[in-house]
Amino acid sequence: MQTPFESIREQVEKENILPKPLLDKLPRRWEKIGEVLIIKLPVELREYREEIGEIYAKTLSCKTVLNDHGGIKGVYRKPMVEIIYGSSDTETIHVENGIRFQLDPQRIMFSSGNIDERIRISKVSKPGEKIADLFAGIGYFTIPIAVYSKPEKIIACEINPIAYKYLCRNIVLNHVTEIVEPRLGDNREVSPEDYADRVIMGYIGDTKDYLPVAFNTLREHRGIIHYHDTFPDEEVPETPLKLIQETARKFNRKVYLMNYRKVKNYAPGISHYVFDVRIN
């Protein structure tokens, strides 16, 4: 039985779309988000992108194929993608672990590689907790926690109006309107103070700059923080733990490292990690 990629390659070869030396350049990996497929074509294949996109779409049953140019741009982290085949309506519903996420992959970032962490976080949270999600996005962590952990309340902060729109839709779609309170704006301005038992910092980039916000959000500056960022593998866990401890000292608090794990590879020698820390 052929793999999906073998079927794609065979069809490309059969239709004589590419010169034979370029067949090995076809993407062997892709990301399927609902009915939208994202592939990353090397420069050599871009002139054939429409024909290639059609074969991927038909083989993998997708309505639209996006070519990922790599990276994101702006404070709203818009994906650098273009439609190479199919419908210009790229809004879709992605089902994962029983959760329904509505989004537009052309406008909003979504990483299937974070699925294990989304499942894990929904299990470590406890019923009855008050939780703050400082970088909620479309509800990547907020919705699974609300559905499976049954906290008392989650305040979900999101600065991107487009992501916020989908966050609000996903709250309704997953029937957690009584649990999740969405807030639009910079978490430095809209996050609650002296409120949470648990704070989610599901962001990579300059996460450390928001640690004071997380500490102020915790009730009496005590509780659990889930701190995400990218680090050189050889510096883990010492460097991130030191960053958190530096902020803790300003609040006269101590840090206990409960757990840490690699979420996914990010670049050679660098990975996306999450650190579960208790602040006492």
pLDDT in tens, 254-273: 999 999 999 999 999 999 99
Which residue segments constitute the domains of the chain, with CATH numbers given? 4-90 (3.30.300.110), 113-279 (3.40.50.150)
pLDDT value at residue 78: 87
Is residue 76's pLDDT more than 90? no
> For position 186, what pLDDT does the model report?
97
Structure tokens, 249: 């000292």
- Percent of the chain surpassing pLDDT 90: 92
Above 80 in pLDDT, residue 274? yes
230, 206 Cβ separation under 8 angstroms: no
Residue 74's pLDDT band (cuts 50, 70, 90) = confident
Q: Examine the pLDDT at 71 and tell me if it is beyond 80.
A: no
pLDDT score, position 66:
98
C-alpha count within 13 angstroms, C-beta hemisphere, residue 145: 28
DSSP character string of 211-271: HHHHHHHBGGG-EEEEEEEEEEGGGTTHHHHHHHHHHHHHTT--EEEEEEEEEEEEETTEE
pLDDT at 17 over 90: yes
> Measuring CA to CA, how many Å separate 202 from each of 27, 63, 135, 249?
29, 30, 6, 23
How large is the average pLDDT for residues 21-34? 96
Query: What pLDDT, on a 0 to 100 scale, did the predictor assign at position 134?
Result: 98
Please name the helix (run of DSSP H) or strand (run of DSSP E) that holds residue 106, with its range, or none.
none
d(CA 37, CA 108): 14
pLDDT (tens digit per residue) in 246-259: 999 999 999 999 99
158-208, pLDDT tens digit by residue? 999 999 999 999 999 999 999 999 999 999 999 999 999 999 999 998 999
Please report the pLDDT score of residue 80 as a whole number.
Answer: 93
Whole-number pLDDT of residue 254: 97
